[in-house]
Amino acid sequence: MGLKDVAGLLTNNPGTKMRIVDLLTIVERRQMTFQQLLDESQYNPRYLRFLITKLRSVRLMMGEKHGNEYFYYLSYEGFSTFLKTKYSDAIYNLVKRR
């Protein structure tokens, strides 16, 4: 599954898909504050929060508070769990019908 496929799970809007892919490539394997994400992405703060909320809804992005700052990071394990639980019922019901 590529980044465009992941973005396709979240939205059908081509512009939003591209921005999600851009955000995922910015974060990659590091923890970043909201301000760092703003600086690197150059998105409007409200729009960036919207994208983060979408990514958090599928457990692809998580956050932790360290000291006085909140850090965001990608969670591949959480996303994998989300996919397994989302599609396991559909697969189970498909097999059960046979």
Q: What's the pTM value of the predicted model, to 2 decimals?
A: 0.79
Question: Tens digit of pLDDT for each residue in 55-71?
Answer: 998 888 999 999 999 99
- Which residue type, as a one-letter code, is found at position 59? R
Taking the C-alpha atoms of residue 52 and residue 59, their distance in angstroms, rounded to an integer, is: 10
Closest CA to 47 of 76, 23, 71: 23
Q: Which stretch of DSSP H or E encloses residue 33?
A: strand 32-33
Domains in the chain, CATH or no CATH each: 3-97 (1.10.10.10)
For residue 87, count CB atoms less than 10 angstroms from its CB and return exposed for 0-12, middle for 13-18, buried for 19 or more. Answer: exposed
What would the mean pLDDT of 81-92 be, rounded to a whole number?
69
